Structure 1
Amino acid sequence: MKIRTLLMIALFLGLFAGFIWYIGWNGSMLWHAFFPDLPAGLFWAVYLFVALGYLLAMLLRRALPYRVYTLIKLVGSYGLGVLFFCILLLPVADIAGWLLVAGGADYDTVVKGIGVGVVVLLLLLLLRGSWNAWSPVIRRYDIEIEKQAGSMRELRIAVASDLHLGTIVGKRHLGRLVERIEEMKPDLILLPGDVLDDSIEPFVRENMAEVLGRLQAPLGVYASLGNHEYIGGHIEEYVERMKAIDIEVLVDRSVHVADSFYVVGRKDYAAERFTKQGRLGLDELLADVDRTLPVIVLDHQPHKLGIAAQAGVDLMLSGHTHRGQMVPNHFITGRLFELDWGYLRKEAMHAIVSSGFGSWGPPLRLGSRSEVLDIRVSFGS
C-alpha cells in the first residue's frame, strides 16, 4: 500500500510539474514576443511566485511572518485560478496558433494575437469568478414535513455552509453573511460545517468571532463540523470559541428545540480518517431522539442519503461540494455524490446541499455562486 501511495504521489507531482512547465512555456513565448529585451528569468521568477505561491505559503506557514504568509497565500490563490483556466484555454489556443502558422500566418503576429486574446479572456473569467464568489445570493426552498412540531406550524431556517473563514475569506465577506441573514429574520440559523478554512489562527487573530457573533435567531444558532475543521485541528478550542458567541457546535449530538423538533449535528465523515473514535452511526446518534417529531440533521458531506432517510431524518442539510466551485468541476462532484447541489426528495426525507458561502483556494466561482439558503418549513397539523 505504501509503494502504491508513493507512486500516486509521484504521478501527481509529475503531472503538476508538467502543467506548470507547459503554462510557463506558453507565457514565456508571449513575454518574448512583447518584451524581447527583458530577460526570460524575470518572467519565470514572477510566474513561479504566482503559480506556486499558495503551496509555498502553506509549506512555510510557521516560518513566515503572519502578514507575509497571508499576502503570499492571497497572490497564490489567484494564481491557482489562473493555472486552472490556463489548463482549459491553452490547448485550444495552441492548436489554433499551430493551424494559423501552418497556413502561412506570421509567427510573431499569431503569438501576440492569440496571446492577448487568452489574457483578455483570463481577465474576464477572473472578474466574473470574483463577482460570483463575493456577491452572495439567497436561494429559497419551500418544503413540507408531515410530522407535527408541537404548536409550531412553520419554521424559517437560514443556512450557510462552507464559510471557509481564514486568510482569504475574512471579516468583510463574513459581514455580507450577517447582513443577508439579518434581512431574512429567520427563526433558526444552521451552519453545516467548514466554518473555518484550515488553521484557527486567522479566526482568532482577526477577531472574526466579533462579526460571527452577530448571527442571532430566536431559536438559536447551531453548527456542525466539516472536514476543514479536522484538517486544521484545534477542534476543542474551536467549539469553545463558538460557544462563547452563543453558537453551539453539535459534535455527534442532538438538541431538542422549543419542545418542537430536533437539530442533530454529526461529526464530519473525515472524522473516520482524522480521529481514532470516528463518528457515531445515525441509528446510535438518534437513539434518544423522539422520531415522531421532525428531525433536522447537519451532515457536512452528503454521503449515504438513503441511510439517513431510513433512519427517520426529515431534513438533511449539507455542503462540502461547492458544486465544483468552477466549471467543469461540477461534472466530477456530480459523479461523486448522489446530490452535489440543490434539492432531492429521498423517500420522506428532504435533502438540500448548498454550494457554500465562502470558497476554497482561489476566491473564484464559475458555474456556482456564493449562497445563503432560506428554507421555509411547514409542518403537519
Structure 2
Amino acid sequence: MILFFLTFFILFSLVNYYIIRRGLQALEIAPKFFRILFLIVVLIASLSYVFARAVFANSNTDFYDFLLFVGSIWYAFLMYGIIAIILSDITRFIIKKTKPYLFEDVQKYKKIKLYTFFVVSIFISGLVLYGYNNAQNIKVKEFFFSFQSEKSELKDMRIVFFSDSHLTPINDGVFAEKLINTVNSLNPDLILLGGDIIDDNSNNLNRHNISEKLKQLKAPLGIFTCNGNHEYIVGIDDAQQYLEKSNIIILRDTVLTIANTIQVISRDDRQRNRFVGSQRKSLKELNENVNKDYPSILLDHQPFELDSSAYYGINLHLSGHTHHGQMIPANLITSMIYEISWGYGKKENTHFYVTSGAGTWGPPVKIGTDAEIILFNIKFD
C-alpha cells in the first residue's frame, strides 16, 4: 500500500510539473500577471487533495470539504490536460518533420500556442462541467428475470441494486438524498448494495447527515451490502458500525436466505488480505452453505471469478468497483482488466451485471458512463 501511494505521488507530481511547464510555455507572450495566476491556480489545485487527506481529514471543518472538492475536480482537468498536451506534442513533432517552415515565424508560433491554450482550456472546462452534471443525473436501468424455484414462497420480487456511492463531503447529503429518493420511488422489496458505500470518516459524513439520509432507505425485506475495498480503506470496523447504525447490514462471506424465497451470497472484498492479513472464503466454501432449493444472488464488489459463479450455478452475479473507468478514455483500461467492465453479461445460466456506480471516486465527474441504479424484477416459477 505504501509503495502504491509513493508511486502515485511521484507520477502525480511529474504530471503536474509537466502541465505547469507546458502551460507557462504556451503563455509566453501573455501578460506576466496571467502567467503568475496560472501558476498559483495549478499549484493550489494540485496540492488541495493531498492537504485535505493528509492534514485536514480529521479537522471536521468545511475547509476540508472545499479542499477535497477542488483537489478532486482537478484530477479531471489533470487527465484531460495531459492528454491534450501529449496530442499537441505529437502534432507539433509531425509538423516539424513534415513542414518545418511553419515554425520560422516565431511570433506567429507564439500566438498559435497562446490561442491553443485558451481554446483547449475552454474545451476541457466544458467537458468537465458536462461530466459533473452527468454524474448528478442518476439513471434507472431495469431488468426482468424469471428463476425456477418450486420452494420459493414469494412469486415475485423487486430488487434494487446500486454500488459505489462513495459518500463523502463531495457526494454529500444532497447527493445521498437524491439517490435515496430515487431508490425509494422504485418501491423495492429488497435493496442490495455492492460495496464502496462510504468513503470518509464518520465525522465528515455526519457533518452532511449521511447516516440520517441512509436511514430513509425503505425495503420490507431488508437492506444488505457486501463490503468494498473502500470500506477497508476508511477502516472496516468503523465502516461496518457506521453502516449498521444507518440500518444497512454488511454481509461478509455470508449466505442469507431472504423470505424463504432467494439466497444472497455476499463475499468479502478480494483485497481483504491486504488490510487484515487473512483471505476471504472461496466461492466453493460459501457454496457449501447454499440451499439449492432457492435461486441465488451473489454480491462481490470486484467483478472477478465470473467463471466460478457460472460453475456453481449462481443465478445472478452483481458487482461494481470498475466505474467503467468513470471518464473516457479510462474505460479502455478497465475493459482490458475486467471481462465485464460495465453492464449485462451471461455465462451458461448465470446472469451478470457490473454497475458503473451510483457515485464517483475522485473527481465528481462521469464522462462516457452513467450514475445508475438497477431495478431487477424477478419472478419465481
Task: Normalising by structure 2, report the TM-score.
Answer: 0.90
Is contact 1:224-1:249 (8 Å) kept?
Answer: yes
Secondary structure of 2:29's counterpart equals helix
Please tell me whether the aligned partners of residues 328 and 367 of structure 2 are also in contact (alpha carbons under 8 angstroms): yes
Give secondary structure in 2 for the equivalent of 1:137. Answer: strand
Which residue number in structure 1 is paired with residue 224 of structure 2?
222
Alpha-carbon distance between aligned partners in 2 of 1:242 and 1:232, rounded to the nearest angstrom: 12
Question: Hey, what does 2:73 align to over in structure 1?
Answer: 78
Name 2:25's counterpart in structure 1.
29
Residue 158 of structure 2 aligns with which residue?
Answer: 156
How many residues are matched? 374
| Alignment partner of 1:173 is 2:168 | no
Shift in Å, 1:96: 4.9
Deviation at 1:313, TM superposition (A): 1.6
Q: Aligned partners of 1:260, 1:9: CA distance in 2, in Å?
A: 45
- Please say if 1:17 is aligned against 2:13: yes
CA distance in 1, matches of 2:184, 2:34: 54
Structure-2 change in CA distance of 1:148 and 1:348 (3 Å): farther
Structure 1 140/78 Cα, relative in aligned 2: closer, same or farther at 3 Å? Answer: same
Are the aligned partners of 1:93 and 1:114 in contact in 2 as well (CA < 8 Å)? Answer: no
Asked whether the equivalents of residues 301 and 318 of structure 1 are also in contact (C-alpha less than 8 Å), the reply is yes
Secondary structure, counterpart of 1:376 in structure 2: strand
Q: What is aligned with 1:356?
A: 357
Contact persistence 2:60–2:204 (CA under 8 A): no
Displacement after TM superposition at 1:200 (Å): 3.5
Cα distance in 2, alignment partners of residues 12 and 179 from structure 1: 37
Distance 1:11-1:70 versus aligned 2 partners, 3 A rule? closer
Q: 1:256 to 1:15 in 2, by over 3 A?
A: closer
Matched, 1:92 2:87: yes
The match for 2:114 is 112
CA distance in 2, matches of 1:236, 1:10: 26
How far does the alpha carbon of each residue in 1:154-180 deviate from its partner, in whole angstroms, 9 at most, with x for none?
221111100101121111111111121
User: Offset of 1:377 from its aligned partner?
Assistant: 1.7
Say if 1:291 and 1:312, in contact at 8 Å, map to a contact too: no
Cα distance, 1:221–1:115 mapped onto 2, change above 3 Å? same
Check the 8 A contact 1:317/1:351 in 2, yes or no.
yes
Confirm whether residue 45 of structure 1 aligns to residue 40 of structure 2. yes
Alignment partners' CA distance in 1, 2:103 and 2:262: 70
Deviations 1:262-316 (A, max 9, x none): 1122111111211123211122223222122111111100110111222232111
Q: Contact 1:148–1:294 at 8 Å: present in 2 too?
A: no
Partner of 1:332: 333
Q: Distance in 2 between matches of 1:131 and 1:279?
A: 38
The CA deviation string for residues 22-71 of structure 1, in whole angstroms up to 9 with x for no partner, is 211232234443323x2845532321111232123222235756322221
Equivalent position amino acid for 1:51 in 2: S
Give 1:259's aligned residue: 260
CA contact 1:324–1:330 (8 Å) conserved in 2 = yes
1:282 aligns with 2:300: no
Check the 8 A contact 2:169/2:208 in 1, yes or no. no
The residue type paired with residue 203 of structure 1 is L
**Deviation digits for residues 216-261 of structure 1 (CA, Å, limit 9, x no counterpart):** 112211111000000111x233323333333221121222111111
Q: Tell me how far apart the structure 1 counterparts of residues 7 and 187 of structure 2 sit (CA, whole Å).
A: 50
| Match among 146, 149, 158 for residue 147 of structure 1 | 149
Superposition deviation, residue 129 in structure 1: 0.7
Of 224-233 and 43-52, deviating more is: 43-52
2-side partners of 1:20 and 1:320: how far apart?
27
* Offset, 1:12: 5.4
Secondary structure at 1:76's aligned position in 2? helix
CA offset at residue 341 of structure 1? 0.8
Do the aligned partners of 2:160 and 2:190 also contact (CA within 8 Å) in 1?
yes
2:198 aligns to what? 196
In structure 2, C-alpha distance between the alignment counterparts of 1:270 and 1:330, rounded to whole Å: 22
2:312 is the counterpart of 1:343: no
Classify the secondary structure of the residue corresponding to 2:191.
strand
2:209 alignment counterpart: 207
Task: Give the secondary structure class of the aligned counterpart of 1:106.
Answer: helix
Q: CA deviation at 1:9?
A: 7.4
Matched, 1:185 2:187: yes
CA distance in 2, matches of 1:319, 1:211: 22
Percent of aligned positions that are identical: 32
Instruction: Give the direction of change, closer, same or farther, for the CA distance of 1:307–1:110 in structure 2 (3 Å limit).
Output: same
The answer to which of 178-187 and 363-372 deviates more is 178-187
Q: CA deviation at 1:15?
A: 3.9
Match of 2:309 in 1: 308
Query: Whole-Å Cα distance in 2 between the matches of residues 197 and 269 of structure 1?
Result: 18
Q: TM-score, normalised by structure 1?
A: 0.90
- Quick one: distance in 1 between partners of 2:64 and 2:255? 39
Q: 1:378 matched to which residue of 2?
A: 379
Contact kept, 8 Å, 2:132 with 2:364, in 1: the verdict is yes
- Superposed CA RMSD: 2.4
Deviation at 1:94, TM superposition (A): 4.4
Q: Deviations over 1:302-350 (max 9, x none)?
A: 1101112222321111100000001111111111111111111122211
Q: Provide the C-alpha distance between the structure 1 equivalents of 2:152 and 2:197, rounded to a whole number of angstroms.
A: 31
Instruction: Tell me which amino acid in the other structure corresponds to 1:84.
Output: M
Query: Which blocks of at least 5 consecutive residues in structure 1 are unaligned?
Result: none
**1:370 Cα offset (Å):** 0.6
**CA distance in structure 2 between the aligned counterparts of 1:304 and 1:256, rounded to whole angstroms:** 23
